Amino acid sequence: MNDSPDQDLLPYLSAGEELLAPARRAVLEQYPDETGRGPVPGRLYLTTRRLLHLDDDPISLPLSEIKELEMIIGLLLVTLAGGRGVVIRVEDAALVRSQAASAMIRARG
């Protein structure tokens, strides 16, 4: 584990799930946005099982459901199973993409 989970993350971790990358400020937007929430600011965590965006209503993106992970101009473009998509604005997007891609390879073993 690279970093100790902060107190906000602990209730969301499953047994055996570990934090791989510390929280980063991020804005997440889902497509299609059936909730009508639009862009949502929060904190993005990378664990051994998922990308987790914490705000008032956490959003979990299981690594097993990520089909494509691209980066353009500081944005992470995530394509999920079923054709859903997520755009994540995050500082160090290239680093987050690299870390997430490595975690996906390990998770798929």
Domain ranges (residues) in the chain:
10-108
Q: Looking at the domain that runs over 10-108, which CATH code has it been given? A: 2.30.29.30
pLDDT the model gives residue 1: 39
Q: Tell me which long-range contacts 13-22 makes (C-beta under 8 A, separation of at least 24).
A: 13/47, 14/49, 16/48, 17/47, 17/48, 17/49, 18/47, 18/48, 19/45, 19/46, 19/47, 20/46, 20/47, 20/48, 20/99, 20/103, 21/45, 21/46, 21/96, 21/99
pLDDT the model gives residue 42: 94
pLDDT the model gives residue 2: 43
pLDDT the model gives residue 5: 52
pTM of the entire predicted model: 0.88
What are the per-10-residue average pLDDT scores of the chain (109 residues)? Answer: 64 92 90 84 94 91 95 93 93 92 89
